[in-house]
Copies of this chain bind each other. A is one copy, B any other.
Amino acid sequence: MRFLIANDDGIYSPGLAILATVAKGFGDVQVVAPDVEQSSASSSISANRPLTFRATKVIDGVEAYRVNGTPADCVALGLFHRDDVDVVLSGVNLGPNLGNGLWHSGTLAAARQAALLGVRGIAFSTPAVHDNPELSDLAPYIAQVMEMLLPRDDLRLVNVNLPARPRGIRWTRQAVEQYDGEVVPAKDPYGRPVFWLAVTQLQEHSPETDLWAFERGYVTITPILLDATDHAALGAVNPSERIMEFDQPDPQLLADSEEAASRAQHEPVTVERASDG
């Protein structure tokens, strides 16, 4: 099996090294990771500038490249340069990715980018322990999860969190009941207000969610969607309201519109501002 390893903590993270080391036991490994920490990058991509892809020595015996971009950028470039990748592994992130934090996670985003490009993606995260970086203790658990997940090619995108000393493994759903962030006001040295976005400790978790299981010492495995549509809400729309035609669609306007839409889609997300001309 051929693996591409990415992360969001940057190419020199020990979390990436342990993941690459474990993956070598399952097949060929190549690393493509950001040149510097890209935390909370979500699925951001660098649409306004070109990226570099540079060979870097970080792990003995592993071909590795660093990219001056986001986790999703890394996977896009990695899969561009090598078209035979079977699974993209992301992490191991130093810090868990659970609950609504998933929406901001660059670790999951690297795995998601793989899945968007047709390659399976698995994201791994673990709490960062300041005084004892024994990530090697996690190796057997990572290996066990890979043994479970690698044969399951129906699972296109999976998010895994590993507590420090797991008592077991549970398949879970994402906890979405609460948001685990808050704004913390502070002052700059001149006394002017500034605002930090900080992660908060949630007190209670719904049973069987990723947060709930993780706090109870389980490795959590959560299959993740690639379709953002709320199909339940869509299905609940009154059929008579699902399609509304405006009166008198002028055929010329319509033709113009289709052409404009076609052109427009060719445009990148960051187009010249209309008012600038």
Contacts and interface: CB of A to CB of B under 8 A. Distances in A.
One complex includes copies of this chain to the number of 4
B257 A164 contact: yes
A179 interface: yes
B45 A40 contact: yes
A90 interface: no
B35 A127 contact: no
Interface residues of A, number: 147
Contacts of A168: 243-246, 249
Nearest to A134: B274
A21 interface: no
B229 A271 contact: no
12 contacts: A12-B12, A37-B68, A42-B72, A53-B195, A56-B273, A95-B268, A127-B261, A170-B243, A171-B242, A186-B186, A222-B229, A222-B234
B135 A57 contact: no
Nearest to A133: B274
Contacts of A20: none
A199 interface: yes
B128 A51 contact: no
A115 B142 CA distance: 34
Contacts of A277: 55, 130-131, 133
Interface of A: 9-10, 12-15, 35-37, 39-57, 68, 70, 72-73, 76-77, 80, 93-98, 100-106, 109, 112, 116-118, 127-133, 135, 148, 154-155, 157, 163-174, 176, 179-181, 183-184, 186, 188-190, 192-199, 201-202, 211, 214-218, 222-231, 233-234, 236-237, 241-246, 249, 253-254, 256-258, 260-277
7 closest A-B pairs by beta carbon, nearest first, are A127-B264, A133-B274, A39-B270, A36-B36, A128-B271, A50-B194, A223-B233
